[in-house]
């Protein structure tokens, strides 16, 4: 299949090249219109947040004939993959199943982008599953700007036709509701300060923190629930609404041997170089050291750092962990060295959180997290121990161009936890945690499966992985099961036209730990976009779809026809 047809299939929401038959799509989509009476804009659907869930929801709605306004508070769409600079965390089956076909087509387009625009070696070019960075965290580690470029290509035809309007650098500031429905959102441009009114039949909260929930009065929960609330084995003893996982201000760096790129000493370096996390169970030592608490057993675990080495006698070399460019995959001389992303235990920020705090408190923690990341970088340049007995790697270079910022840090923090809707159905540890599920089911751990949700609208997998928290919890990390995404977790108990499409679905603090990753967020967003499309087409509503067995079955057939998987293969 040639490049034009490949990208056409992706842009219009068809499946990966040759994977499935062409899906009939409505190209007569409605358009975004001016709402003169209110000096604003109107579309079928307004989506707040241009992350992976927001983009997937938009593409799903567009390919089925609906107009979309997508707001994004930074100047990059793509969320975790772009503005936050995090290569995809995925499961081992991702190349063949366990996501939507559109997500896999998106991944294929990233690989195709490198093959068409970069001077790869012949060996790298011939690889079906090219991994540009060969980072150990994922089968596809790549630059943020490539994810951005591919997403923009996918959106381009819809934007040109005015069926999609992307309002970058716009943040939702307020909302108006009537009863159990949202009537409008007000957004403000970060560039001009101008406010605008957005109206729609349906609204989607795809923000990183679930920002629309308090603005619309939608009921939600924050922090860690108690055992009494959820019955989860790993839940807190008490409900702690301000206990959230760490967030991280990621950055990119490369290494230029023989050169000195040492940055000025960060303002808060003396604080962070001496900072010892206060946690239970205790952290391994100081934060800026080459060790940490092993997530599985919380025992001290050594780490290694060397920008020119692969391994250290079985110890993880952090340089290779989230490496996004392996210079050996490209023709000699293109890159002076590899490029890697720093999203490590050492720059997880947990002294405070970003949810339901004042603007001043929010900004204080953002600035402190930036100081932590810059301090980590300076420490790597000047003080980290080298195998030859020396200290520091002055040739480390902060790559602000990779992140698209002046300071070299990501445009937005990597957020692991958001406000969560009070939903019709909540996913609990007993559904997806391997040990508790086996206990509840009375089935051996090697035979047990997660529940077969009657209202499944997608699937995903990741182990339950909670990073240290603002409430002093160390890692909570344990085995989980391949799971389904129940439609009930996407439906607020009360609100009828506002739906989540990020980390704000009906999970708990614990189960968020496996529903928060890249392909799951994409599948959630795509399912929501199709849920709203189906509601338009059949003059119904998402809540009614789920409540009527025949309608629900027809809806599930509809989403499966466009490449969403609702069940894992029986023979896994």
- In the chain, the domains with their CATH numbers are 1-232+416-572 (3.50.50.60), 247-403 (no CATH)
pTM to 2 decimal places: 0.95
pLDDT for 8 equals 55
410, 85 contact by CB (below 8 A): yes
Classify residue 180 by burial, with Cβ atoms within 10 Å: 0-12, 13-18, 19+: middle
Coil vs helix vs strand at 20 = coil
pLDDT for 13 equals 47
Question: From CA 59, how far away is CA 229, in angstroms rounded?
Answer: 37
338, 307 contact by CB (below 8 A): yes
pLDDT for 18 equals 36
Question: From CA 68, how far away is CA 62, in angstroms rounded?
Answer: 7
Question: From CA 286, how far away is CA 344, in angstroms rounded?
Answer: 14
293, 344 contact by CB (below 8 A): no
* 374-404 pLDDT per residue, tens: 999 999 999 999 989 999 999 999 999 999 9
Question: From CA 318, how far away is CA 16, in angstroms rounded?
Answer: 33
User: For strand 456-460 and strand 300-302, is the pairing parallel, antiparallel, or unpaired?
Assistant: unpaired
Question: From CA 355, how far away is CA 341, in angstroms rounded?
Answer: 25
How many residues are listed for the chain in this entry? 572
Question: From CA 475, how far away is CA 279, in angstroms rounded?
Answer: 10
pLDDT for 572 equals 72
313, 108 contact by CB (below 8 A): no
Question: From CA 90, how far away is CA 137, in angstroms rounded?
Answer: 8
User: For strand 323-325 and strand 220-221, is the pairing parallel, antiparallel, or unpaired?
Assistant: unpaired
Tell me how far CA of residue 21 lies from CA of 16, 101, 105, 171, 563, in angstroms.
Answer: 10, 12, 14, 39, 10
Give the distance between the most distant pair of CA atoms in the chain.
71
pLDDT for 43 equals 97
Question: From CA 423, how far away is CA 507, in angstroms rounded?
Answer: 9
pLDDT for 25 equals 59
pLDDT for 35 equals 78
| Ranges in the chain, pLDDT < 70 | 1-27, 36-38
Provide the b/e sequence for 386-411 (b: ≥16 CB within 10 Å). eeeeeebbebbbbbeebbbbeebbbb
61, 45 contact by CB (below 8 A): yes
Residue with structure tokens 């100047």? 75
Which among 189, 192, 165, 196 is positioned nearest to 73, based on CA atoms? 189
Half-sphere exposure of 164 (CA within 13 A, CB side): 30
């Amino acid at each position: 299949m040639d490049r034009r047809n490949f990208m056409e299939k992706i842009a219009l929401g068809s499946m990966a090249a040759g994977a499935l038959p062409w899906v009939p799509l409505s190209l007569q989509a409605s358009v975004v219109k001016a709402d003169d009476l209110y000096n604003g804009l109107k579309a079928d659907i307004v989506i707040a947040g241009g992350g992976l869930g927001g983009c997937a929801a938009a593409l799903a709605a567009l390919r089925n004939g609906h107009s979309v306004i997508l707001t994004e508070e930074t100047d990059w769409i793509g969320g975790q993959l772009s503005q936050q600079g995090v290569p995809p965390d995925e499961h081992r089956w991702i190349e063949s199943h366990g996501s939507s076909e559109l997500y896999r087509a998106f991944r294929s387009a990233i690989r195709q982008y490198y093959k068409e625009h970069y001077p790869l070696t012949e060996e790298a070019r011939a690889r079906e599953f090219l991994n540009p960075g060969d980072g150990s965290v994922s089968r596809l580690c790549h630059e943020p700007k490539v994810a951005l470029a591919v997403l923009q290509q996918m959106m381009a035809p819809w934007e040109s036709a005015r069926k999609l309007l992307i309002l970058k650098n716009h943040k939702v500031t307020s909302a108006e509701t009537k009863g159990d429905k949202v009537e409008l959102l007000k957004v403000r441009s970060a560039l001009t300060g101008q406010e605008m009114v957005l109206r729609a039949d349906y609204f989607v909260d795809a923000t990183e923190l679930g920002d629309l929930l308090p603005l619309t009065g939608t009921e939600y929960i924050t922090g860690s629930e108690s055992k009494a609330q959820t019955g989860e084995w790993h839940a807190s003893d008490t409900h702690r609404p301000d206990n959230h996982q760490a967030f991280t201000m990621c950055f990119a760096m490369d290494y230029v041997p023989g050169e000195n790129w040492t940055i000025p000493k960060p303002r808060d370096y003396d604080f962070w170089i001496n900072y010892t996390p206060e946690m239970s169970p205790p952290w391994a030592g100081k934060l800026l050291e080459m060790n940490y608490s092993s997530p599985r057993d919380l025992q001290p675990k050594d780490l290694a750092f060397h920008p020119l080495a692969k391994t250290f006698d079985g110890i993880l070399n952090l340089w290779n962990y989230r490496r996004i460019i392996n210079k050996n995959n490209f023709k000699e001389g293109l890159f002076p060295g590899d490029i890697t992303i720093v999203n490590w235990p050492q720059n997880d920020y947990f002294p405070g959180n970003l949810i339901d705090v004042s603007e001043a408190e929010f900004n204080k923690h953002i600035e402190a997290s930036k100081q932590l990341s810059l301090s980590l970088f300076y420490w790597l340049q000047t003080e980290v121990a080298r195998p030859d007995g020396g200290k520091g790697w002055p040739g480390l270079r902060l790559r602000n161009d990779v992140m698209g910022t002046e300071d070299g840090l990501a445009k937005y923090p990597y957020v692991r936890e958001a406000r969560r809707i009070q939903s019709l159905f909540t996913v609990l540890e007993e559904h997806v945690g391997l040990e508790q599920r086996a206990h509840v089911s009375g089935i051996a751990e090697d035979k047990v499966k997660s529940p077969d949700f009657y209202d499944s609208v997608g699937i995903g997998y990741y182990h339950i992985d909670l990073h240290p928290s603002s409430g002093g919890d160390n890692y909570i990390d344990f085995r989980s099961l391949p799971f389904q995404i129940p439609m009930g977790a996407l439906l607020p108990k009360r609100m009828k036209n506002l739906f989540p499409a990020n980390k704000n679905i009906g999970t708990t603090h614990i189960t968020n730990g496996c529903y928060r990753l890249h392909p799951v967020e994409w599948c959630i967003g795509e399912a929501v976009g199709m849920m709203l499309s189906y509601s338009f087409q059949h003059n119904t509503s998402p809540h009614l779809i789920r409540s009527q067995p025949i309608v629900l079955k027809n809806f599930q057939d509809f989403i499966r026809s466009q490449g969403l998987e609702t069940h894992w293969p029986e023979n896994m």
